[in-house]
Amino acid sequence: SQTIHQWPATLVQPVGSPLSLECTVEGTSNPNLYWYRQAAGRGLQLLFYSVGIGQISSEVPQNLSASRPQDRQFILSSKKLLLSDSGFYLCAWSWGYGYTFGSGTRLTVV
């Protein structure tokens, strides 16, 4: 069966520090992968999506970047975190018309 793993679950980072959040999918190949962010009390905002290795589409200009070094691995990064990067980050993958979300990473930038 297909599963999606996302880590870490929580993270507290100082302003200006780097960030790396990882998401991996098991049990499928060539999935579409997505990163969403949910700011406190707000909806889900699409940050990046990928339809294949090395193919990244950015939806919102910001302080973040994404990479897909392997078929089932999707990484969200930042060189220098801002306070406004705080939020709940969700990774997701899709197959056909179904979508599955990871358990999320709660990032607090202090």
Partner 1 sequence: AQKVTQAQTEISVVEKEDVTLDCVYETRDTTYYLFWYKQPPSGELVFLIRRNSFDEQNEISGRYSWNFQKSTSSFNFTITASQVVDSAVYFCALGNQAGTALIFGKGTTLSVSS
Query: How many residues are present in the chain?
Result: 110
Q: Which of 34, 66, 72, 107 binds partner 1 (CB under 8 A)?
A: 34
| Ramachandran area for residue 27 (φ above 0: left; ψ -120 to 50: alpha; else beta) | left
Q: Looking at 2, 16, 30, 42, which residue binds partner 1 (CB under 8 A)?
A: 42
Furthest C-alpha separation in the chain: 39
Q: Which is nearer to partner 1, 26 or 59 (CB)?
A: 59
Using rule CB under 8 A, residue 86 touches partner 1:
no
* Cis omega (within 30 of 0) for bond into 8: yes
List of residues contacting partner 1 (CB under 8 A): 32, 34, 36, 42-44, 46, 49, 59, 88, 90, 92, 94, 96-104, 106
